[in-house]
Structures are given as structure tokens and as C-alpha cells.
Amino acid sequence: MKVTQRVRKILSCYEADNPGSKTNLARILMTGKLAGTGKMVILPVDQGWEHGPARSFAPNPPAYDPHYFFKLAVDAGLNAYAAPLGQLEAGADTFAGSVPMILKLNNSNSHATTKDQAITASVGDALRLGCAAVGFTMYPGSDDQFEMVEEIREIAEEAKSCGLAVVIWSYPRGGNLSKEGETAIDVTAYAAHLAAQLGAHIIKVKPPTDFIEQPDAKKVYEAQNIDVSTLSARIAHVLQSSFNGRRLVVFSGGAAKGTDEIYDEIRQLRDGGASGSIIGRNSFQRSREDALKLLNDIVRIYQGKF
């Protein structure tokens, strides 16, 4: 595997990591149509667990088959495919070596009444399946946040000792956070910073709004004239909050939206310096043909060609 100078520069920012973790991070960065650019588009498919099969797959019935997602990620030329244990096990042999896999180690479901997730897989599972990384969701702000922090600290230590990369989904919710505050710029930047502090190689957060949740933070944003007027400016601030751009930060696609709206958002992510996108429902709930076109266009946006 040839590694570009751009990717080598990114790897140099992870100064405490062993060659194994850096190799697996390089596998992700050197795969697909964006290989070597330092940008990523990742397919995440945990929605069956999180929302139920009908809500997730009925709009595009071929997606009930776990093999569908491996094929989609490969044919679209994506950097990686992230999913829970059972979904990866269902295609890991057939698609071995075809696309880097990220094993999601914790999950929730639509029946849950607390802002927490259960541990549903292990670092050992990730090694057995040949994954490049493990993924973990934490909820800053929730009543269970400190337990989740302790869980990911232990998991990250084990994963890195085995040469795996670590991806943290950092989604503020619960506790005293308002619904609007879950995607507020101050809260999102804080969530990304927490994931960086916990040792994430790749951080996943939602695109932030210009709302500021915390009164004390609002005073600072105003006093220091921190620009939050556009999405691209807010993205740049989130990257700044992630060790001044020394950590890879990808942004979720979020709820279903129109194609033009997706393209506009991706362009603003790119212009703000985002490391890429991790886009699930907005791709796989479309027909395969439409999903491939959408994902190809998103790749072209990050390449500066669309």
C-alpha cells in the first residue's frame, strides 16, 4: 500500500500511536476514490439496530440483505464501512479485504428510555473479523456520560494495544441539554474536543447550527468574535477545537433530506476543512443507482470537481 505525503502528515499528528494503529488508519485513508487525499466518505449502517428494520430498510428493500452494504461501499469507492457485529459477520468472509471495516461496539434502540448504549461487541470481535477500527458512541451531557467515558477509555486502550484505530461518535444529548442545544456550535465543538481528549483517531459529530447553548460559552463567543455565521465557519471552529486540526473529524449526514440540500451541506463541510462525511440513510434508503450517483457526487465535491 502506497501512502501519500498528505496521509503521512496526518499520521504524524498521532504521536503516541503504534505502527499497527497508524497502518489501519492509513488503510482507511488510502482506500477508495478519495485515497491519499486526507478526505473520507464512510458508509455507516447501524440504523437497523437503532431504529428497527422497517424504518431503516423498507424504503429500499434490497437493503435488508447485509451484503448490500458491502457492495455499495465497494462500488461507490468509499473509504470504509461501519456497522454492528451481526451485520459485519454476515458478509465479512465474502468481502474480506474489499473495504476497511469499522466495528461499532455499542448500540441503543428505539425502545430505550435512557440516553445510554449497551456494549454489543468487543475488540476481539474486531480483530477476528479483520476490521481496521472500532467505533463507539458517547453522549456528552447525558446522565450516563461518565460511565460511557470510562467504557471508551478502556476500549480505546485495548484497541490501540492491538493496533486498531478508534472512531468516536460524539453526540451530545440528555441531561440539561435542550433539543436545540444538541447541535449548538458550542456544544458540538465541545463534544469533538472531548472525543479528541479520549484518544479518538477519527471523530464523528453532527454539523452544528449557529445556536449557542451555554450562557458562559456565549459570552466568550461574543467577546472573542468567534465566527459562527455560516456552516463552513462553524466547521472550521469544530476542527480548531479538535486539537487545531490535528484530529480527523467527519460529519454525519443526519435525517433524510433532498439531494440539493445534501450537496449544499457537503460543499460547506468541505469549505470549512472537514475531513469528510459519514452518510448512511441519505444514501442507502435510495435505490442502488441513485445511491451510487449521490455518493459519487459527494466524493467529487471533496475532490473539488462538483
pLDDT, tens digit (0-9, with 9 covering 90-100), for 168-190: 999 999 999 999 999 999 999 99
For residue 261, the model assigns a pLDDT of: 95
Q: What is the pLDDT of residues 109-118, one digit of tens each?
A: 888 878 889 9
- Our measurement of the distance from residue 292's CA atom to the centroid of its chain's CA atoms, rounded to an integer in Å, reads 19
Handedness of CA 238, 212, 194, 192 (dihedral sign): negative
Beta pairing partners, 134: 103, 166
- What pLDDT does 209 receive? 97
Confidence of residue 85 (pLDDT cuts 50, 70, 90): very high
Per domain, the residue ranges of the chain are 5-302
Residues 65-78: what's their mean pLDDT? Answer: 98
Q: What totals of helices (H) and strands (E) does the chain contain, helices first?
A: 14, 10
Is the pTM higher than 0.85?
yes
Residues in a beta bridge with 138: 170
pLDDT band at 12 (very low <50, low <70, confident <90, very high): very high
**CA-based nearest residue to 70, from 106, 102, 40, 27:** 102
Q: Which residues are within 8 A (CB) of 110 and not within 5 positions of it... i.e. 6 or more apart?
A: 50, 51, 52, 55
pLDDT value for 114? 81
Rounded-to-integer distance, Cα 113 and Cα 302, Å:
38
Question: In terms of pLDDT, which residue wins out, 116 or 41?
Answer: 41
Residue 27 banded pLDDT, cuts 50, 70, 90? very high
pLDDT given at position 47:
87
**Cell numbers at residue 9, please?**
502528515
Output 186-191 pairs: Cβ under 8 A, ≥24 positions apart. Answer: 186/212, 186/213, 186/214, 186/217, 186/218, 186/221, 187/140, 187/141, 187/213, 187/214, 188/234, 188/238, 189/237, 189/238, 189/240, 189/241, 190/140, 190/217, 190/241, 191/140
Q: Name which of 128, 76, 119 is nearest 101 in CA terms.
A: 128
CATH 1.10.357.10 matches 5-302: no
Q: Which positions are annotated as active-site residues?
A: 204
Question: Which residues fall within 8 angstroms of residue 224, CB to CB, at 6 or more apart?
Answer: none
Residue 147 reports pLDDT greater than 90: yes
Q: How many CB atoms lie within 10 A of CB 2?
A: 8
Residue 283 is predicted with a pLDDT of 94
| Cell reading at 35 | 485515497
Distance CA 128, CA 101 (A): 12
